[in-house]
Amino acid sequence: VAYAGVWQPPPGLLGNFPHLQAIFSLGAGVDHVTNDPALPRVPIVRIVDPDLTMRMSEYVALHVLMYHRRQRLYDAQQHERVWREHDQPPASEVAVGVMGLGVLGRDAAALLLRLGFRVAGWSRSLKALPGIETFHGPGGLEGFLRRTEILVCLLPATPATAAILTLDLFRKLKGDGAASGAYLINAGRGALQVDADIVAALDEGSLCGATLDVFPTEPLPPASPLWRHPKVTITPHNAAASDPRPLVANILRQIQRFEAGLPLDHVVNRGAGY
């Protein structure tokens, strides 16, 4: 076996293939591969695919617009046969912040910009993106949060991002802006968030709503209070489910290039963990 395409391989499994030349993650994230302490020292390649990127941007736009247009309130009104219109600020007054300006974060941010929002992003290294206010590093986080009303998280799970989404962080979001409160959309990884802190933030009002696609424990256990929380929207880690057809074509193309002596694209930086 020279190449392995994997999703959550059992730890130790890949060490059994002495001829392995590359590991392909069957998803954009690689934490399910890098958490194997016995991982062979071969390149880890992650999926970068326009189909997957588009699906994630759809998800982000859907949920940002859901909060912006107060769709959950109108759903509740419909249930009660209530015909009542609420004030609607223009998107140009609403500040959306995207954590992670990688392949997915940049595309989502560009789409949100096109929809008219005030968009900012936060990444590890300095970025310059047209129309998007950028912040970076631990020193840039506070300023990014203070101006953000709708927080979209598209970070990878690494030691540096573990449990970054805490009550303390939610309290720094801008709650008195045009959106009339702060909102969280996490479609990155469950390891980024502390579920109990999300519930606490929703209950005290530092968050007014949360869309969660990912959880520290998946599937989300039936006993989790998130399931029935009136301000929570849950999806089963399918914000950008990978379609196997483009994914396989993508991996085969990479193998062909590699065997022709060309470098692999989208190789993971093992030190950084993404």
Ligand X SMILES: NC(=O)c1ccc[n+]([C@@H]2O[C@H](COP(=O)([O-])OP(=O)(O)OC[C@H]3O[C@@H](n4cnc5c(N)ncnc54)[C@H](OP(=O)(O)O)[C@@H]3O)[C@@H](O)[C@H]2O)c1
Angle, alpha carbons 10-12-16 (nearest 5°): 115
List of E strands, 137-176: 150-153
- CB 59, CB 187: distance < 8 Å: yes
If binding is defined by CB under 6 A, does position 6 make contact with ligand X? no
Helix (H/G/I), strand (E/B), else coil: 152: strand
Cα 151 to chain centroid distance, Å, stands at: 10
Phi, psi of 203 (to 5 degrees): -70, -35
If binding is defined by CB under 6 A, does position 25 make contact with ligand X? no
Of 199 and 239, nearer to ligand X (C-beta) is 239
Tokens of 59: 């998800």
Active site residue 72: no
Of 91 and 189, nearer to ligand X (C-beta) is 189
Judged by CB under 6 A, which of 123, 211, 250, 254 binds ligand X? 123
> Per CB under 6 A, which of residues 213..252 are in contact with ligand X?
213-214, 237, 239-240
Of 84 and 217, nearer to ligand X (C-beta) is 217
> Per CB under 6 A, which of residues 55..84 are in contact with ligand X?
56
Q: Please count the other Cβ atoms lying within 10 Å of the Cβ belonging to residue 71.
A: 14
If binding is defined by CB under 6 A, does position 210 make contact with ligand X? no
Q: By CB under 6 A, which span of 81-89, 187-195, 224-232, 247-255 interacts with ligand X?
A: 187-195
Active site residue 237: yes
Phi, psi of 25 (to 5 degrees): -75, 130
Tokens of 247: 């994914």
The residues of the shown chain that bind ligand X, judged by CB under 6 A, are 27-29, 56, 100-105, 122-125, 154-158, 160-161, 187-189, 213-214, 237, 239-240, 274
Catalytic residue numbers, as ranges: 189, 237
